[in-house]
Amino acid sequence: MSARNRELLGLIPASLLLTAGFAGVFIQHSGALSKLSNVSLTYGAIFLALCVAGHLVIRLTLPHADPYLFPLAAALASVGIVEVYRIDPTAARRQAIWFVIGLVLFGATIIALRDYRKLERYRYTIGAASLVLLILPRLPGIGEQVNGAYLGVHVPGLGVFQPAEFAKIGLVVFLASYLRDTRQVLVMGARRFLGVTIPPLKHFGPMLVIWGLAMMIMILLHDVGSSLMFYGGLVAILYVATGRVSFVVIALIAFALGAWYLGTHIAHIHGRVEAWLHPFNPKLYGQVGGSFQIANSMFAQAAGGLFGQGFGEAIVTIPGYSTPHYLIPAPDTDMIYAVITEELGLFGACALLIAYLLFVGRAFKAALMATDSFSTLLAVGLGSVFALQVFVIVGGVTRVIPLTGVTLPFISYGGSSIVANLVLVAVLLLVSDRARRPPGRPASVGLGTAPEREFPEVRARG
């Protein structure tokens, strides 16, 4: 079976998952089996048609691309739409509209960036634009504060836009392009001190800027999750580019020192740490912005057990109120993983994490197969940022790390998140198509690849 036929076949389980999910919601809410054929199958058919449209774009433009990335993204998106609908039907309708918009941008990205390497020409422009996007939520008049963190920008008529979702892609493009040119200088021009490799400062300057950016995000935006996500992506790209563990150690020590200082001197961050360490403290539990959210999340996950309470059976709202009073605050965004765990249990939660692991694994597979260093670093960066985003939110909900406001990719409610992640999938497909192209097949017309910039192991294979 060809790669594209495997991709098409993989979209069928994703649509069936959505159909079964909506059927479960309708049966649980009304007990009406008639809606199984009248509504659920219709929703499943529409979702499959939309995914097939995205598949046709891939089939016509990227015949050699990875056949599993898009079906995995579709499966995760189907879980997200159903789970958001189960919590808030109105929000789910908006989520479905944003999914369609994301598919349009997905196709536009593939068509416009057939030779994605031309992005290297504009790396400083892309890097500067990404920094501007990160700062936007802090600007008076347009920035919005949610649960103590500055994450969104209010756009009239469209709602809240989270620029950090798109900034992560831009920063990865900048870092991949910059380290492609400077990685050899970082290694060859470095000095050894007490067994630690110290790179030349003039070439390590942009890396220090990213470290400062991570600290600035925690100070100005009160957003620990985005800070960890961006900085983790930098460290991953830096390690793959240089192969030096000492650089990773220095980067982790620098981040740990900065996080410790801010966690003890910035009230909002300190409050998050206290809620993480003592979630069941009665004083913190009843405090505004305290541990109420994380404590109830732990209760919900414990109630799920191994096999869950059943789909649609999680107690999300407190009964007896005319307007929704959520027992688990932000159940469709920050806490959606806790809701899924309560309803589907540990096995369902693990299945979800396995789907994420498979997606990240395919991204790293594209990086391993790439024949030029920019493509390798780009795929590694995008895969690492995606993986860290999942780790940050799941780790926060399960109390592995302090809770942050990062969205769970493709599942949490949020137009910015689903659109940006579909663009991320498009870029990964572009990289994988070029990497998997059979020898002798002409590549897309664009920039040439300088042999001196390739990874040594790639040159050895060639």
Within 13 A of 298's CA, how many CA atoms are on the CB side?
16
pLDDT value of residue 218? 62
pLDDT at 175 over 60: yes
Greater model confidence, 68 or 38: 68
Greater model confidence, 440 or 243: 243
How confident is the prediction for the chain on average, in pLDDT?
Answer: 81
What is the C-alpha to C-alpha distance for residues 88 and 82, in angstroms, rounded to an integer?
10
Do 66 and 436 meet the contact criterion of CB atoms below 8 Å apart?
yes
What is the C-alpha to C-alpha distance for residues 170 and 193, in angstroms, rounded to an integer?
34
Q: Is 197 helix (H, G, I), strand (E, B) or coil?
A: strand
What is the C-alpha to C-alpha distance for residues 154 and 190, in angstroms, rounded to an integer?
45
pLDDT value of residue 191? 65
* Polymer length of the chain: 462
Q: Which of 153, 63, 80 is nearest to 331 (CA)?
A: 80
What is the C-alpha to C-alpha distance for residues 70 and 86, in angstroms, rounded to an integer?
24
pLDDT, one tens digit per residue, over 133-156 is 888 877 777 766 665 566 777 776
pLDDT at 342 over 50: yes
pLDDT value of residue 140? 72
Mean of pLDDT values over 214-239: 75
pLDDT value of residue 453? 42
Mean of pLDDT values over 339-346: 91
pLDDT value of residue 1? 81
pLDDT at 54 over 80: yes
pLDDT value of residue 449? 39
pLDDT value of residue 361? 95
pLDDT at 203 over 60: no
Residue 13: how many other CB atoms lie within 10 Å: 13
Q: Model confidence at 219, in pLDDT bands (50, 70, 90)?
A: low
pLDDT, one tens digit per residue, over 263-302 is 777 777 787 888 888 888 888 887 777 788 888 888 889 9
* Percent of the chain surpassing pLDDT 90: 32
pLDDT value of residue 324? 65
Mean of pLDDT values over 251-261: 79
pLDDT at 185 over 50: yes
What is the C-alpha to C-alpha distance for residues 21 and 83, in angstroms, rounded to an integer?
8
pLDDT, one tens digit per residue, over 377-411 is 999 999 999 999 999 899 989 988 888 777 899 99
pLDDT value of residue 206? 58
Greater model confidence, 40 or 455: 40
Q: Model confidence at 438, in pLDDT bands (50, 70, 90)?
A: confident
Mean of pLDDT values over 318-342: 79
CA distances from 106 to 111, 129, 155, 371, 427 (A): 9, 20, 22, 24, 9
